[in-house]
Chain A
Amino acid sequence: GIQVEQSPPDLILQEGANSTLRCNFSDSVNNLQWFHQNPWGQLINLFYIPSGTKQNGRLSATTVATERYSLLYISSSQTTDSGVYFCAVGGINYGGSQGNLIFGKGTKLSVKP
C-alpha cells in the first residue's frame, strides 16, 4: 500500500519562529489533507491540497504532486500552534474510491513562550 512519511517527527520552536513540515508519499494521490490535532484530540482541517499552493493567515501549504511531497509552512508561530500535525492522503489506486484516508505518523510541534 501507499507509504506516507512525515518529517520531522518532533519539533520544538520558540514563539515567533517559522517552520516547515514535510509529507512524502509513495504513490500518486488525488486527495491530500493537512490536519492539526490539538491537545484535546480535535482534528482540525487546515488544507485540502492535492496539488498547488494555498495560504490561510500564518499557514500555507504546497503540494508538488509530480514529486510526491507536500509542505506545510507555519510562520510567526504561537503557543496555540502546539499539537500534532497530520498529513493524510487518498487516491483511487489504494481504495480511495471509498474515501479512505491514509495518515502519516504526524509531526509533534511544541511552541515555547
Chain B
Amino acid sequence: DTEVTQTPKHLVMGMTNKKSLKCEQHMGHRAMYWYKQKAKKPPELMFVYSYEKLSINESVPSRFSPECPNSSLLNLHLHALQPEDSALYLCASSQGGLAGVIASTDTQYFGPGTRLTVL
C-alpha cells in the first residue's frame, strides 16, 4: 500500500481564520514533507520532518506552522493567511534512513492534496 491521505480536499478560509491541514500515511515511513503548488507551477518544498523532528524549513512564513505528532501523522496549522497563500498543498512521505538521515535515493509518495482558497 503506497497511500498517503490528506484532509480536507478543499478549504476556504478568511484571513483571520485558524485552520489545519492533515496528512496521514501507514507505510511505516519516517520522513514526511509539505509542498506548496501554485497554479501552473511545480511543487515547492516547504518543510521536511524526519523521525518526527523538523529537519528542513525552507524559509516559510510563520503563519504556516507544521506539526508531526507521531510517525504516521503530519499537520499544517494555518493562521492569518494572505490571499497569495491560495494554492494546492501536497503532503508526501518516504522511507527515511537510519539515525534520522533521509537518503537522497528515497522515493517520495504524494497525497491527493488540499486545495486552499484564502479570501
A interface list, Cβ under 8 A from B: 30-31, 33, 35, 40-45, 48, 50, 86, 88, 90-92, 95-101, 103-106
Contacts and interface: CB of A to CB of B under 8 A. Distances in A.
Interface in B1-45: 2, 31, 33, 37, 41-45
B106 interface: yes
Contacts of A41: 37, 88, 90, 112-113, 115
Given A41-B113, A41-B115, A99-B33, A30 B42 contact: no
Given A105-B42, A106-B42, A43 B110 contact: yes
B74 interface: no
A92 B101 CA distance: 12
A30 B101 CA distance: 15
Contacts of B103: 97, 99
Interface in B46-70: 48, 50, 55-56
Contact of B104 (A40, A86, A96, A104): A96
Contacts of A42: 110, 112-113
Given A41-B113, A45-B2, A30 B43 contact: no
Given A40-B112, A43-B43, A31 B2 contact: no
A35 B110 contact: yes
A39 to B, nearest CB: 12
B82 interface: no
Contacts of B115: 41
